[in-house]
Amino acid sequence: MYHYGLDISATFAASGGYAEIYAWVCRNLHSTVHFRRVQQNLVVIKDRGILDEIPKYHPYSQMLKNAPMAILVCGDEQLQKYKGYWVQDCSAATENILIAAQAKGLGAVWLGVYPTEDRVIAIRKLLGIPEHVIPFSLISIGYPAEQKPRSDRYDASRIHRNKW
C-alpha cells in the first residue's frame, strides 16, 4: 500500500532491531522523495555522535539522545518549480513520514527547524549541507516508550461556515 508515496506495506517485527527501521527508510526513500515535485532531500541520520550533538543546538530535541535514528527533511531552492511552495511540500513530506512511522508501530516526533535561523545554521553546519538547501524539519524515530492519550483541543468556534 502506498501512503502518499511512502511504501508502508513492509512488515516490522515489533521487537525488531533499529537496523530494521533504517533499512525500511532507505528502501522507501526513493518513493518519499518522489512525492509531488521532488523538491525534498532527506538526510537519514543514524550516527550516534551526530544524534547526540543535535540537542546542543536544538533545545526541544532531547529525545534524540535515546532515538536510534532521525530523518532531516530539507527544501532545495534549486529544485523548486513553484517558488515558495517548498515549505508546504516539506510539511507534507514530514507529515507523511510521521503517518507511515505510526502505521508501522514506531514512535516519531516532528522537531521544528525552519524558520528558526540559529537551528537552520547549526544543522547545516553539523551535517555539511550546502547553502541552497534548507534544513526544514527533523523527525525523531524509534520504538515508543509510552502511549500518550490523545489531547482534545477541538474548538468549534474556530470553524467558519462559507464565510468567516
Ligand X SMILES: Cc1cc2nc3c(=O)[nH]c(=O)nc-3n(C[C@H](O)[C@H](O)[C@H](O)COP(=O)(O)O)c2cc1C
CA distance 132 to 123: 14
* Of 74, 109, 139, 141, the one binding ligand X by CB under 6 A: 109
Residue at 153: amino acid letter: R
Long-range contacts of 11-19 (CB under 8 A, 24+ apart): 12/104, 12/105, 12/106, 14/105, 14/143, 18/68, 18/69, 18/142
2: three-class secondary structure by DSSP: strand
CB of 137 to ligand X, least distance (A): 7
**110 in contact with ligand X (CB under 6 A):** yes
Looking at beta carbons only, is 110 or 143 nearer to ligand X? 110
CA distance 143 to 54: 20
CB of 101 to ligand X, least distance (A): 13
Looking at beta carbons only, is 153 or 161 nearer to ligand X? 153
Looking at beta carbons only, is 23 or 42 nearer to ligand X? 42
Contact string 54-73 vs ligand X (x = CB under 6 A)? ------x-------------
Q: Helix 18-33 to helix 86-103 angle, to the nearest 10 degrees?
A: 140
**51 in contact with ligand X (CB under 6 A):** no
**111 in contact with ligand X (CB under 6 A):** yes
Task: Report whether the peptide linkage leading into residue 115 is cis, meaning its omega lies within 30 degrees of zero.
Answer: yes
CB of 11 to ligand X, least distance (A): 26
Contact residues: ligand X, CB under 6 A: 60, 109-112, 151
